Chains A and B, each alone.
Chain A
Amino acid sequence: MSQSAEKIIDHEMLFRQPEYTEMFASKKQNFEFPYPADKVTEIRDWTKTAEYREKNFAREALTVNPAKACQPLGAVFAAVGFANTLPFVHGSQGCVAYYRSHFSRHFKEPTSCVSSSMTEDAAVFGGLNNMIDGLANSYSMYKPEMIAVSTTCMAEVIGDDLGAFITTAKQKGSVPEDFDVPFAHTPAFVGSHITGYDNALKGVLTHFWHGKERVANNAINFIGGFDGFVVGNMPEIRRILNLFGAEYTVLCDPSDVWNTPSDGEFRMYDGGTTKAEVKSALNAKATILFQGISTEKTGKYIAETGQEVVSLHHPLGLAGTDQFLMEVSRLTGKPIPAQLERERGRLVDAIADSSAHIHGKKFALYGDPDLMLGLTAFLLELGAEPVHVLSTNGDDHWAAKVQTLFDASPFGKGCHVYAKKDLWHMRSLLFTEPVDLLIGNTYGKYLERDCGVPLIRLGFPIFDRHHHHRFPIWGYEGSLRVLVTILDEIFEALDANTIDTAKTDYSYDIIR
Chain B
Amino acid sequence: MSLTVEDVKQRNESLIKEVLEVYPEKTAKKRAKHLNVYESGKPDCDVKSNIKSLPGVMTIRGCAYAGSKGVVWGPIKDMIHISHGPVGCGQYSWASRRNYYIGVTGIDSFGTMQFTSDFQEKDIVFGGDKKLEKIIDEIQELFPLNKGISVQSECPIGLIGDDIEAVSKKKSKEYDGKTIVPVRCEGFRGVSQSLGHHIANDAVRDWVFDKSGDKHVDFEGTPYDVAIIGDYNIGGDAWSSRILLEEMGLRVIAQWSGDGTLAELENTPKAKLNVLHCYRSMNYISRHMEEKYGIPWVEYNFFGPSKIEASLREIASHFDDRIKEGAERVIAKYRTLTDAVIEKYRPRLEGKTVMLFVGGLRPRHVIGAYEDLGMEVVGTGYEFGHNDDYQRTTHYVKDGTLIYDDVTGYEFEKFVEKVQPDLVGSGIKEKYVFQKMGVPFRQMHSWDYSGPYHGYDGFAIFARDMDMAINSPVWGLTRAPWSK
Q: Mark B95-136, 1 if CB is under 8 A from A, else 0.
A: 110001010111110001111111111011000000110110
- Interface centre among B56, B93, B456, by most A CB within 10 Å? B56
Residues of A within 8 A of B469 (CB): none
Look across to chain B and name the residue whose beta carbon is closest to the beta carbon of A25. Answer: B102
Residue B341 at the A interface, CB < 8 A?
yes
* A154–B158 alpha-carbon span in the complex (Å): 10
Is A119 touching B52 in the complex (CB atoms < 8 A)?
yes
Interface residues of B in 153-173 (CB under 8 A from A): 154-156, 158-160
* A168–B255 alpha-carbon span in the complex (Å): 51
Is B134 touching A23 in the complex (CB atoms < 8 A)?
no
- Interface centre among A4, A32, A56, A95, by most B CB within 10 Å? A32
Residue A11 at the B interface, CB < 8 A?
yes
User: How distant is A512 from chain B, measured CB to nearest CB, in Å?
Assistant: 33
Is A114 touching B135 in the complex (CB atoms < 8 A)?
no
Is B159 touching A154 in the complex (CB atoms < 8 A)?
yes
Residues of B within 8 A of A438 (CB): none
Residue B88 at the A interface, CB < 8 A?
yes
Is B92 touching A69 in the complex (CB atoms < 8 A)?
yes
Residues of A within 8 A of B478 (CB): 262-264
Interface residues of A in 128-177 (CB under 8 A from B): 130-131, 133-142, 152-154, 157-158
Q: Mark B248-276, 1 if CB is under 8 A from A, else 0.
A: 00001111000101011001000000000
Interface size on B, residues (CB 8 A): 124
Is A114 touching B57 in the complex (CB atoms < 8 A)?
yes
Residues of A within 8 A of B85 (CB): 153, 188-189
Residues of A within 8 A of B429 (CB): 97, 100-101, 104, 110-111
Given contacts A116-B56, A190-B121, contact A141 B62 (CB under 8 A): no
Residue B437 at the A interface, CB < 8 A?
yes
Residue B452 at the A interface, CB < 8 A?
yes
* A31–B410 alpha-carbon span in the complex (Å): 47
Given contacts A61-B117, A99-B92, A141-B23, contact A44 B107 (CB under 8 A): yes
Residue B209 at the A interface, CB < 8 A?
no
Residues of A within 8 A of B292 (CB): none
Stretch at the interface among B6-14, B187-195, B283-291, B316-324: B187-195
Given contacts A105-B96, A118-B188, contact A93 B86 (CB under 8 A): no
Residue B22 at the A interface, CB < 8 A?
yes
Residues of A within 8 A of B106 (CB): 47, 424, 427, 446, 450
Look across to chain A and name the residue whose beta carbon is closest to the beta carbon of B22. Answer: A141
Q: Mark B454-480, 1 if CB is under 8 A from A, else 0.
A: 001100110010000000001000111
Stretch at the interface among B36-44, B140-148, B298-306: B140-148
Taking a contact as CB atoms closer than 8 A, the residue among B340, B341, B452 that contacts A11 in the complex is B452
* A31–B92 alpha-carbon span in the complex (Å): 31
Is A153 touching B92 in the complex (CB atoms < 8 A)?
no
Residue A322 at the B interface, CB < 8 A?
no
Interface residues of A in 34-81 (CB under 8 A from B): 34-35, 39-40, 43-44, 47, 52, 55-56, 59-66, 68-73
Q: Mark A260-278, 1 if CB is under 8 A from B, else 0.
A: 1111111100000000000
User: How distant is A136 from chain B, measured CB to nearest CB, in Å?
Assistant: 5
- Interface centre among B86, B131, B410, B435, by most A CB within 10 Å? B86
Is A31 touching B264 in the complex (CB atoms < 8 A)?
yes
Taking a contact as CB atoms closer than 8 A, the residue among A63, A115, A152 that contacts B87 in the complex is A63
Residues of A within 8 A of B27 (CB): 133, 136-137
Is A263 touching B433 in the complex (CB atoms < 8 A)?
no
Taking a contact as CB atoms closer than 8 A, the residue among A11, A100, A263 that contacts B100 in the complex is A11
* A142–B57 alpha-carbon span in the complex (Å): 9
Given contacts A140-B24, A141-B410, A266-B413, contact A70 B242 (CB under 8 A): no
Residues of A within 8 A of B156 (CB): 153-154, 157, 189
User: How distant is B244 from chain A, measured CB to nearest CB, in Å?
Assistant: 11
Taking a contact as CB atoms closer than 8 A, the residue among A10, A91, A141, A266 that contacts B461 in the complex is A10
* A105–B432 alpha-carbon span in the complex (Å): 10
Residue B63 at the A interface, CB < 8 A?
yes
Taking a contact as CB atoms closer than 8 A, the residue among A19, A56, A63, A261 that contacts B115 in the complex is A63
Residues of A within 8 A of B96 (CB): 101, 105
Residue B58 at the A interface, CB < 8 A?
yes
Is B239 touching A15 in the complex (CB atoms < 8 A)?
yes
User: How distant is B416 from chain A, measured CB to nearest CB, in Å?
Assistant: 10
Interface residues of A in 79-121 (CB under 8 A from B): 88, 91-95, 97-102, 104-105, 108-120
Is A92 touching B63 in the complex (CB atoms < 8 A)?
yes
Is B123 touching A189 in the complex (CB atoms < 8 A)?
yes
Is A101 touching B456 in the complex (CB atoms < 8 A)?
no
Taking a contact as CB atoms closer than 8 A, the residue among A19, A73, A100 that contacts B88 in the complex is A73
Is B460 touching A8 in the complex (CB atoms < 8 A)?
yes
Residues of B within 8 A of A20 (CB): 239, 243
Given contacts A1-B334, A122-B188, A190-B120, contact A266 B65 (CB under 8 A): no
Residues of B within 8 A of A192 (CB): 87
Given contacts A14-B236, A264-B479, contact A5 B343 (CB under 8 A): yes
Look across to chain B and name the residue whose beta carbon is closest to the beta carbon of A70. Answer: B88
User: How distant is A155 from chain B, measured CB to nearest CB, in Å?
Assistant: 9
Residue B450 at the A interface, CB < 8 A?
yes
Residue B47 at the A interface, CB < 8 A?
no
Residues of A within 8 A of B88 (CB): 69-73, 95, 98, 153, 188
Residue B344 at the A interface, CB < 8 A?
yes
Residues of A within 8 A of B464 (CB): 8
* A72–B141 alpha-carbon span in the complex (Å): 33
Residues of A within 8 A of B341 (CB): 5, 8
Residue B50 at the A interface, CB < 8 A?
no
Is A267 touching B87 in the complex (CB atoms < 8 A)?
no
Is B187 touching A92 in the complex (CB atoms < 8 A)?
yes
Given contacts A8-B460, A94-B187, contact A130 B55 (CB under 8 A): yes
Is A64 touching B117 in the complex (CB atoms < 8 A)?
no
* A45–B433 alpha-carbon span in the complex (Å): 47
Residues of A within 8 A of B450 (CB): 10-11
Residues of B within 8 A of A114 (CB): 55-58
User: How distant is A197 from chain B, measured CB to nearest CB, in Å?
Assistant: 14
Given contacts A104-B429, A119-B188, contact A153 B86 (CB under 8 A): yes
Is B438 touching A123 in the complex (CB atoms < 8 A)?
no
Taking a contact as CB atoms closer than 8 A, the residue among B57, B78, B105, B428 that contacts A138 in the complex is B57
User: How distant is B265 from chain A, measured CB to nearest CB, in Å?
Assistant: 11
Taking a contact as CB atoms closer than 8 A, the residue among B100, B121, B189, B267 that contacts A119 in the complex is B189
Residue B139 at the A interface, CB < 8 A?
yes
Residues of B within 8 A of A131 (CB): 55
Q: Mark A183-218, 1 if CB is under 8 A from B, else 0.
A: 000011110100000000000000000000000000
- Interface centre among B23, B88, B115, B134, by most A CB within 10 Å? B88
Residues of A within 8 A of B187 (CB): 92, 94-95, 154
* A190–B264 alpha-carbon span in the complex (Å): 39
Is A98 touching B56 in the complex (CB atoms < 8 A)?
no
Of the A-B pairs whose beta carbons lie under 8 Å apart in the complex, a sample of 10, sorted by A's number, is: A5-B340, A23-B239, A27-B255, A73-B92, A95-B63, A101-B429, A117-B53, A137-B27, A154-B187, A264-B436
Q: Which residues of B contact A (CB under 8 A)?
A: 22-24, 26-27, 52-66, 78, 85-89, 91-96, 100, 102, 104-108, 112-121, 123-124, 131-132, 134-135, 138-139, 141-142, 144-145, 154-156, 158-160, 187-191, 193, 216, 235-236, 239-240, 242-243, 246, 252-255, 259, 261, 263-264, 267, 333-334, 337, 340-341, 343-344, 408-410, 413, 427-429, 431-438, 450-452, 456-457, 460-461, 464, 474, 478-480
